[in-house]
């Protein structure tokens, strides 16, 4: 049974209290926001057509799919876990939705089925990790292949097409008051997750479980339930991203969602989420996803080989982790 333990935090003077610059950087989203602004200014000056409405709108929408997956990854990382299956879950959820619609099922029922598949796979991951004591890396790595294999069987290694209705296409291609629907959907999810993470006991218990699992358990926290729930949430958010991506592409490719797990981890880490658990930022993750989008968009506009994106992303991750560990040590 989950209870809300009273956790006493004793304040004390630290090295940060004498360094205003470090205090500023450790505030939620500030440091990564500076990186985003500098990259934006660089591309505004150096990349042709970067500041056009069409390009900025496309950049924002493209970043949202990684952002949604990264939100779920953030919750998992906060507990000290990892989820490598989200890219395959994204593809499978979109594939299930498209396949059911192609076979005549009502759009909303198909969408609910896709969301259920995502949450179910996440919950299975969490159950195996907590109840059988298997490494999160191994479980989710195996699930990456299982979900991808199921998608290949579902699609018979051929794209699923000719199922999109105008109502379904509206989810990712429509606009309300000039604002793209994916932006509105992601904004609602962002606000909900921010509230959950910052203003509820559930959010505090996630951080407690990630900071010190044994101490949280001894305080009466059901750490197993917390971990199962965050894996289920991760799968659900990956499914949301998969359904929206399916709506945007109007088809399902057998490889859809590949590498999303790495980009989601990258966005979370760049945004200040600790790989060691106990620290995360919903705002930071959103900015981290936008930074990855800027990298990809900038390389396109500057006619640079996209293979450099992998190198640049890796360097950004290493830098972000190094800075996070440095600031943690100073704190």
Residue 27 β-bridge partners: none
Question: So what's the architecture of 57-330 in CATH?
Answer: Orthogonal Bundle (1.10)
What pLDDT was estimated at residue 275? 81
What pLDDT was estimated at residue 314? 80
What pLDDT was estimated at residue 15? 41
What pLDDT was estimated at residue 48? 82
Cβ atoms of 94 and 252 within 8 Å: the answer is yes
What pLDDT was estimated at residue 114? 96
What residue spans define the domains of the chain?
Answer: 57-330
**Structure token digits, residue 284:** 């930071």
What pLDDT was estimated at residue 27? 59
What pLDDT was estimated at residue 244? 96
Separation CA 43–CA 40 (nearest Å): 5
What pLDDT was estimated at residue 327? 66
Q: Which of 152, 188, 146, 201 has its CA nearest to residue 6?
A: 201
Walking along the chain (331 residues) 10 residues at a time, the average pLDDT comes out as 46 47 54 84 88 90 94 94 95 95 93 97 96 94 96 88 91 91 95 93 87 76 89 97 94 90 91 82 92 89 79 78 70 61
Q: Which of 30, 29, 69 has its CA nearest to residue 189?
A: 69
What pLDDT was estimated at residue 152? 93
What pLDDT was estimated at residue 7? 46
């Amino acid at each position: 049974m989950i209870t809300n333990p009273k956790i006493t935090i004793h304040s004390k003077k630290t090295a940060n209290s004498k360094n205003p610059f470090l205090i500023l950087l450790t505030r939620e989203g500030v440091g990564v926001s500076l990186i985003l602004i500098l990259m934006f200014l660089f591309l505004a000056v150096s990349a042709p057509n970067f500041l056009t409405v069409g390009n900025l709108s496309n950049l924002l929408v493209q970043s949202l799919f990684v952002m949604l997956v990264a939100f779920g990854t953030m919750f998992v990382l906060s507990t000290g876990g990892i989820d490598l299956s989200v890219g395959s879950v994204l593809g499978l959820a979109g594939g299930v939705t498209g396949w059911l619609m192609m076979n005549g099922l009502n759009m909303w029922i198909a969408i609910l089925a896709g969301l259920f598949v995502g949450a179910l796979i996440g919950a299975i991951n969490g159950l195996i990790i907590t109840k059988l004591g298997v490494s999160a890396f191994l479980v989710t790595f195996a699930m990456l292949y299982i979900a991808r294999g199921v998608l290949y069987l579902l699609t018979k290694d051929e794209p699923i097409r000719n199922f999109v209705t105008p109502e379904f296409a509206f989810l990712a291609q429509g606009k309300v008051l000039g604002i793209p629907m994916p932006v509105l959907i992601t904004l609602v999810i962002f606000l909900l997750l921010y509230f959950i993470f910052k203003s509820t006991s559930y959010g505090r218990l996630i951080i407690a479980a990630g900071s010190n699992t044994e101490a949280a358990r001894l305080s009466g926290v059901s750490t197993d339930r917390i971990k199962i729930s965050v894996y289920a949430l991760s799968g659900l958010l990956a499914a949301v991203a998969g359904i929206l991506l399916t709506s945007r592409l109007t088809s399902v490719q057998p490889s859809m969602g590949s590498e999303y797990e790495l980009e989601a981890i990258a966005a979370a880490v760049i945004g200040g989420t600790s790989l060691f658990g106990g620290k995360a930022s919903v705002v930071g993750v959103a900015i981290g996803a936008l930074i990855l989008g800027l990298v990809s968009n900038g390389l396109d506009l500057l006619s640079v080989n996209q293979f450099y994106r992998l190198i640049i992303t890796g360097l950004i991750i290493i830098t972000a982790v190094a800075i996070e560990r440095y600031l943690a040590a100073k704190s």
